[in-house]
Structure 1
């Protein structure tokens, strides 16, 4: 599953065209993906994630498709961004919702349409998967830029609030549970 298109960078970065290629992640992407998870947690929540735990969690998805799949966006042959898709069964709709998670575009590649291309690829894959009823994601309540991006791509805010209760100690700090 690879798709390629061209996007223009913002005027401040020149008017040259850049090829974006979306592909399924491979085992060789482990360091890129895990590094981005840690960068995203720091950037959005000022949280330091344990590198070993993040690598194990990322590797688990890469080696077990039942857990989900990663898409990677390559810009001019260099990995630029990623997202993870997991699934949730809906008995109300007799089908799956795909959850878009772990979205991250490296700062040097932002505003170049990388996430838009990742989102479009997930949308196409979902449209061709008969059991998929829709796409969902959650965003940090303080990440207004991400929220605007998702809304521009046709996603709507739901009436749901996310709660969690951790049952294992990994990621806990000062009595608060860790997201992710």
Structure 2
């Protein structure tokens, strides 16, 4: 498995995250998302943690001249759902995307472990749920 670093997404990631959301919607549901609407939606999530939190997996890569840079290789988004039954928040894992060339290298596992550790450290979080499109 490749060594990955997980970081919070920031406003500069908007276009990448929107492009990945468009790709994910096509791959999973054969839906064509409007890129402008998707960019606006990602920007809204990035700008308001109550709406969403995004995380980006980064991998070290060597480029021409031997320089090492960090490349984004995957993402996921968290949203919250209040549970009156448990008096706490469920964290929903959604909008997971790993480009095809980075799949099967532990990217999602690293993102999940990061979010799992955050959930364990955050008072009031009662569990994680993964949104899956079955069709």
5+ residue gaps, structure 1, are: 1-6, 8-17, 143-180
Which residue of the other structure, out of 109, 120, 124, is the alignment partner of 1:116? 109
Distance in 1, Cα, partners of 2:115 & 2:3: 18
Distance in 2, Cα, partners of 1:19 & 1:117: 9
Residue 23 in structure 1 maps to residue 23 in structure 2? no
Residue 102 in structure 1 maps to residue 95 in structure 2? yes
Residue 50 in structure 1 maps to residue 34 in structure 2? yes
TM-score by length of 1: 0.68
How far does residue 138 in structure 1 lie from its aligned partner after superposition? 1.9
Q: Name the residue aligned to 1:137.
A: 130
Distance in 2, Cα, partners of 1:118 & 1:19: 12
TM-score by length of 2: 0.91
Q: Secondary structure at the match of 1:66?
A: coil
How far does residue 51 in structure 1 lie from its aligned partner after superposition? 0.4
Which residue of the other structure, out of 34, 42, 45, is the alignment partner of 1:61? 45
Which residue of the other structure, out of 74, 79, 85, is the alignment partner of 1:81? 74
Please report the RMSD computed on the Cα atoms of aligned residues, expressed in angstroms: 0.8
Residue 35 in structure 1 maps to residue 28 in structure 2? no
Distance in 2, Cα, partners of 1:139 & 1:95: 22
5+ residue gaps, structure 2, are: 61-69
Aligned length in residues: 126
How far does residue 136 in structure 1 lie from its aligned partner after superposition? 0.7
Query: How big is each residue's C-alpha offset from its partner over 1:41-65, in whole Å with a ceiling of 9 and x where there is no partner?
Result: 0111111000010000000011111
- Larger RCO: 1 or 2 (CA < 8 Å, sep 6+): 2
Aligned runs of 1:159-174 on 2, under 5 Å? none
Which residue of the other structure, out of 128, 134, 142, is the alignment partner of 2:121? 128
Larger mean CA deviation between 35-44 and 68-77 belongs to 68-77
Distance in 2, Cα, partners of 1:99 & 1:140: 13
